[in-house]
Each structure stands twice: as C-alpha cells, then as structure tokens.
Structure 1
Amino acid sequence: MSTTGDGDPWGITTLDLFELLEDAVQSDRSWVVATVIAVDGSAYRRPGAKMLFGPDDSAFGGITAGCLEGPLADVASEVRRADEPEIATFDLTSDDDGWGLGLGCEGIVDILVEPVTRSWQAPVEAYHRGEPIALATVTDDTAPVPVGTRAGIAVDGTPIETGGPSLPSSVLEGVSERAGELAAAGRSETVTVTTGDGSVNVFVDGIDPIDRLLIFGGQPDTRPVSRLARSVGFHVTVATARGGQADPDRFPNADRVVATHPTDLEELVDDRTSVVLMSHNLLDDRLALEGLLETAAPFIGLMGPRERFQRIREGLEDDGVTLSAADRDRIATPVGLDLGGGETVEIALSIVGEVVAASNGRDGGRLRDREGPIHDRVQSQPE
C-alpha cells in the first residue's frame, strides 16, 4: 500500500505512519519522530499526534494545519545531528513568538522530537497486532531521569520491554496504572510522578491499535468504499462469495482480497473490525449477518432499503435468531450518513463516514451543533 496519503505526505494516516515507523525502526538511517505531548488552548491536533522526518529531510504526517512544519523540520535536523531527544514549544497565541511565525493562533503546543530507535519496535508491533499499548516517556528536562527514558505498558499495567534506557521502578510504579487506562482508551496525557529523588513528568501515549474494515461484496460499488476507507486509515479487507471476483487487481486500494463463504466471515473479524455488507445478494447478506452476530464486530452496516432488511430479519427469525438490543444498536441499515448525494462516490463517502463516526463513538452530526470542544479533552488524574 502507498504510504504517501494519495501522493500527499502531509495527509498520511496513522496506519501509513506506523508502516513507515516499522521501516524506520529496521533502518540504519536516521529517522526522527515528533509527537505532540501537550496543548494549552486549541490546536489542529491533540496530544499523541505524530510526524516522521526521513534522513533526507522528507516529512510525513501533519500535526498542525501546516504552520509549524518548517520550524519543526529544523528541530528535527538538530535532533538528528545531536542524536538526542528535544522538547520544542511553540506559542501560537502571539505574533511575537520567537519562531518568526506571526500566526496569532489560539494554543501553545509542546512537541517531543526524538530519533527513531528500537524503543519504537514494541509499540509498532502491538499496533499492527491490534493490541493496545501505552508508551510512557520522560519529558521533563529538569527531572532526575533523562528525557526520552521510556517503557511500554500494557492495558493491565504490565511493563513491556522496549530496549534502551528504561524507567526506574519508582517512576514505573507511579505511572503504570494510569498508563494501562490510557492504553485501553487510546488516549494520551502527561502524568506527574513524585519519587524520593523529585518529581518526573511522564508523557503517556496511549496508542490506539489499527482499525479494520471488512467489506463483503465484489461489485464495482465496493471499489470507492474500499478506496475511501483506506484513505482515512482503515486496514481494508474485501471479501467476496464469488471466487472469480477475488482478484486484488479489481480492488487496488484494499490491503487484502479474499474469497470466502458468507458463513465464514467471522474468521476475518475481531473487536476492532467494522463490517459493511454490500453483496447485493439477499441470501448471502442474511447468512453473513447471522454469522457476524456471533462475533465482537462493533459495527455492521447493511446496504439496501429498510424493506430489504425486514426480509433479512424475518429470515433470521425463521432460523430462530432474534436480534438483541445490542445487535440492533450495532447494525446500521440503510448504512451511511444522510449526505443527500446520489453519485457513486457520494454514496461511498456516506458509508465510510458512518463507519468513521461509529469507530470514534460519534453519530456523525454537524460540528456547529456540537457543544464544547471538537476534540475530547483528557482530564489529568490526581496523584
């Protein structure tokens, strides 16, 4: 798969970035990763957002709307030269910010800029396996522990070896429980740990594992759905009940194309896999849905009118299958947001839009009607 965001390195997804990180960890060349660790006020991205800088000064990913990438690239070059992590602070609230930006924005952004080392291998592998993990990194240059010292932490608070300097046990004990919570939630925040040697600020980066989308169908309308889903960062599998349609060349944007019986879709699903059924075959969709009800799939979208779903539901009831309240909540039919468009790509956008909203726990409403901040804030926990 392409890792350049449809030709735009700034627009790459988290999936693309972690694929690049995977290559960078294995490379002998000097890559640099920048992570937003704190935001005071408003900013384009929240803590945990990342960029990568290649050995040739190429940049991948965006942590602002574009206003900081130049100064941040300069910091990355210095980090590459010194082979030491650095905390860069950008005050975007003032026209006299010291960086010559004159942006007059509304936030102060702290960014950890560090060489890519083997310490990233464990979180990269966990991301691709679909396992939550938190990366706890010292970010306080006045602390008794060097900036960049880190540990991986699982959802149960168990330390995960990352290689290189590791957190002292006193710091690890103080941060592990909260780090496990943030790993499970896929959220990031700074935690202050008080030890006998002083206080230590630790940035806990809860890395949300890869999200997957399984599309069941092999007709041409599957292609724009798979294209848009991959472009927004889903790992996409196209499954078809017709072996002759299971040609990867027909679905160039999918990560995987398989032929399978509708009753075997559950083998392709876990609790991070959303599903869209669009085979246009009533029996195949019913068989697929019946099997998927036994899985942990959080979202099951079914293409077609309500009358079609009623026929499928009646068929399930004839087989002794009654939809529970939880089932009715995760089944979306007709699948898609109400965008009002009828073009094929608009229909695909509607479908993928609902999948994105559901995976983020949202209903896809208009931002202007949302009260409070656009992005949820993580409240720091008391010590």
Structure 2
Amino acid sequence: MNAAETRALLGALRAAHARGQRAAIATVVGVRGSAYRREGTRMLILDDGAQVCMLSGGCLEAEVVEVALDVIRTGDSTLTHYDLSEDATWGLGIGCGGSVDVRVERVNPDDAVTAAWLAALEAGRRAALIVPLSPGAGRLLVTPDGQALGDLRADLRPFALAAAQERLTHLEPRAATLTAPDGSAVFVDVSTPPPQLVLYGAGHDAMPLAAQAHALGYDVHVIDPRGAYLTPGRFPGATLHALTPEDLGAFTPGERAHLIVMNHHLDRDRVCLAHALHSGAPYVGVLGPRSRALDLLTTLAAEGVTFTPEQLARLRSPIGLRLGAEAPEEVALSILAELMAWRRGYDGSFLSGHAGRIHHEPTHPVTPPLPGGPPAELPAGPESVTGAGTSPTR
C-alpha cells in the first residue's frame, strides 16, 4: 500500500473509533498466481459493513466484508483462502486467476502491540509486525534497533527477529509470508517512511509533479528562494522551503528521497545538483536533456566541485519514461512512472504481450539495502526531455 492509502485507512479508523464503532482490518498475507494486489495490502471494514481501501479489483471485497463482520462480532481472527482461478468462484463467474490468503483481525486499540503498530504506520516509522498464521502463537513488533514488543512463541522468536531485521535493512521492504524452521507460516508486515520527493524549483511544471506525487503518497518538499512561486496555493500538501542556493545546507533529504533539479536556472541548478549529489539520497534526477546535466557537471568540475563514482552512480538524466509526454501534467506522469519502476525494480515496458506474471521477478535490483544507489553510470537516453529551450520527447 502506498502512504496515501494508509492515511485514508487510518483516518477512517480514527473517525470510527471516535463514533464508537468497531472495526476489523483485512490483510493480504499470501498470493499465488495472478492478483491485483500484493502481500501487505489492507482493507478496513466497519461494523456497519462500510469499507475503506481495496484488496483486489472488486473480486474479493464483498466476501471479505461478510467474514470481517463475523470477526468484529466474535473477536476471533480468521485466515481465509480465496481461489480466484475457478471458472465460477462463489457462483459469480469471476475467474480472475490466481489465489490469495486474507487474514482478518478485529482492531483492539487498547492492545499494546496493535496501538504501537498503528502509531508506526501513522508516523511512517520503520517497524516490522510478525504475525504467525497459526492460532495462539502471539505477535511481535520489531523496530530497526532490535527492540521488540509483544509475545511470541519462544521457538519462533529468533526466526522472527532475524526476519524482521533483514526486511528493515532495505529501502523498499516488502511484506511477505515466510516459512519458519518448524514449517509454520509467519507473516512479516512492514511500516516504512513514505518516499520523499524533493523538487529544486517551484516553477509551473513543478506544480502537477508535486500534486500527482502527493496523491500517490509521497512526502513532497519544494525548495525555491522565490516567495511568489513558493506558496501553499500552488503546492497544496507539500512542505515548502524558501532557501537560497547558499542556504541549501539547512535541508537534509531523507533516506528514501528522490531529488529532482528543475529550477530552469543554470546557476541555481548547478548549486542544487551539487547539494543533491553530496546528500545520501538514492535518486538524483535532472530535468532537461542529457547535455544539460553533463554541462552542469563540467561547470562544477571547473569550479573544483567533484563527486565520487558512487555519488555519480545515483544521477539520472534524462528523467522519465518515453511516453510521448508534452504538457507539464504528462511530463509529471512520465517522471512518476519512472520513479515507481525504479523503486520496485521494473523496466517500465508494456504489459500487453508479456507472457509471464504481471508481478514477475524484477528486471533490475530493487533499491538496495541502506546505504547504496542504483545504476553504475549516468544512463543513456533520449537527448531531450523537457525544460527551457528544449523539445519534449517522452
């Protein structure tokens, strides 16, 4: 789930509790074959049957709501297997292909582990929730520093701690059901900070990029010294930083930051690029043709500003997928499509004609363990994407 979905779910849960309503959370804990969503997808179900978020494209929701209402009434968690490959699933003729396992649990905000887990999701803190899928084995919440909250069957604890720590070392950890040494199934859910998008430049083309990123759950930051451009009306939901190039040291990107230099001003772009590459951010992009990024690097080198091979490995230019984008909104879509593919380890190619699973093995390594960076060199690409004085080619 992205951060926007998580925000919606948690907001609805808070409102429900304020009204005195009871609720359950359904979580996808296993997927085999084709499915719309992956492990870790959640749906909130209230005691009046209302639901927030989705587990699939509509195949499962009605059935899961019925199960959840039972769980809310009894307090007994359930694990249900749904086979969507049957020609007439539940007599409805769904036939989507694949199968999913869904765990439904009533939300008890007074439970210490539940409260800590919801707080981690709300704050975007790194944490892993270990849930054995066999009854009575307990639960464990693990933080990156190894602290653990909750009770877990003693023989599962070492395995659970190791699994949680391994997941939490990655920039993009995935929820998954693992097999413990005794052969039992253990679901590892994860909470991470939302990905951060930092835009150096508050020009007109930054507005749709910031808006679309916010809708996708990014923590959006915009940096620009020009107060007339840097306003909440132009960038709703974003954190604004009125910083001159000389003051950039006051801003430190997060560990999951994607930095995009798009001032359309050579002097500011040069200083911003140096700031971005010297940060620990795993993704640094320069809007405009490849030649622009190379010119900025050449000018910086002439000024005595140099970068290590590891720092240059994080630089991407041009940015975006080749979608034929022209308008600023289209260019924003192109850029965010690349960011999603890069973060999740896919190549951004067409699905039509693809013979394998949609969620096949990634085509390149997903963003690596902390710290690290993606490609080993400034990638080749179309000579022009967008920017002042260029012809957009996406």
The TM-score by the shorter chain falls in which range?
Answer: 0.7 to 0.9
**Alpha-carbon offset, residue 111 of structure 1:** 0.2
**1:262 aligns to what?**
245
In 1, are the aligned partners of 2:4 and 2:215 still within 8 Å (CA)?
no
In 2, are the aligned partners of 1:126 and 1:209 still within 8 Å (CA)?
no
**Alpha-carbon offset, residue 21 of structure 1:** 4.7
Paired residue secondary structure (1:248): coil
**1:7 aligns to what?**
none
Question: Hey, what's the Cα distance between the residues in 1 that align with 2:350 and 2:192?
Answer: 25
**2:335 aligns to what?**
351
In 1, are the aligned partners of 2:81 and 2:100 still within 8 Å (CA)?
yes
**1:10 aligns to what?**
none
Sort the Cα spacing of 1:193 and 1:310 in 2 relative to 1 into closer, same or farther, 3 A.
closer
**2:176 aligns to what?**
189
1:113 to 104, 109, 112: 104
Question: Hey, what's the Cα distance between the residues in 1 that align with 2:106 and 2:9?
Answer: 11
Percentage identity across paired residues of the two chains? 32
CA offset digits 1:277-317 (Å, max 9, x no partner): 21111111111111122211111111122332233112211
In 2, are the aligned partners of 1:128 and 1:209 still within 8 Å (CA)?
no
**2:41 aligns to what?**
49
1:31 to 23, 41, 44: 23
TM-score (ref. length: structure 2): 0.80
1:175 to 146, 160, 181: 160
Paired residue secondary structure (1:42): coil
Sort the Cα spacing of 1:183 and 1:120 in 2 relative to 1 into closer, same or farther, 3 A.
farther
In 2, are the aligned partners of 1:189 and 1:203 still within 8 Å (CA)?
yes
* Alignment: residue pair count: 352
Question: Hey, what's the Cα distance between the residues in 1 that align with 2:270 and 2:121?
Answer: 32
1:80 to 72, 84, 102: 72
**2:195 aligns to what?**
211
Name structure 1 gaps, 5 residues minimum: 1-12, 379-383
Sort the Cα spacing of 1:190 and 1:124 in 2 relative to 1 into closer, same or farther, 3 A.
same
Question: Given residue 64 of structure 1, which amino acid in structure 2 is its aligned partner?
Answer: S
CA offset digits 1:144-179 (Å, max 9, x no partner): x25xx31112346x24326xxx21332212322122
1:104 to 74, 95, 116: 95
In 2, are the aligned partners of 1:21 and 1:124 still within 8 Å (CA)?
no
In 2, are the aligned partners of 1:228 and 1:348 still within 8 Å (CA)?
yes
**2:204 aligns to what?**
220
**2:380 aligns to what?**
none
Question: Given residue 109 of structure 1, which amino acid in structure 2 is its aligned partner?
Answer: V
Name structure 2 gaps, 5 residues minimum: 363-394
Question: Given residue 152 of structure 2, which amino acid in structure 1 is its aligned partner?
Answer: L
**Alpha-carbon offset, residue 211 of structure 1:** 0.9
**Structure 1 vs Structure 2 CA RMSD:** 2.6
**2:131 aligns to what?**
137
CA offset digits 1:340-364 (Å, max 9, x no partner): 1212211111122122222223342
Question: Hey, what's the Cα distance between the residues in 1 that align with 2:330 and 2:215?
Answer: 15
Paired residue secondary structure (1:111): strand
Question: Given residue 255 of structure 1, which amino acid in structure 2 is its aligned partner?
Answer: A
Sort the Cα spacing of 1:72 and 1:335 in 2 relative to 1 into closer, same or farther, 3 A.
same
Say if 2:134 is the partner of 1:152. no
TM-score (ref. length: structure 1): 0.82
Question: Hey, what's the Cα distance between the residues in 2 that align with 1:308 and 1:174?
Answer: 50
Paired residue secondary structure (2:105): strand
Question: Hey, what's the Cα distance between the residues in 2 that align with 1:241 and 1:75?
Answer: 54
Question: Given residue 331 of structure 1, which amino acid in structure 2 is its aligned partner?
Answer: L
Sort the Cα spacing of 1:294 and 1:129 in 2 relative to 1 into closer, same or farther, 3 A.
farther
**Alpha-carbon offset, residue 100 of structure 1:** 3.2
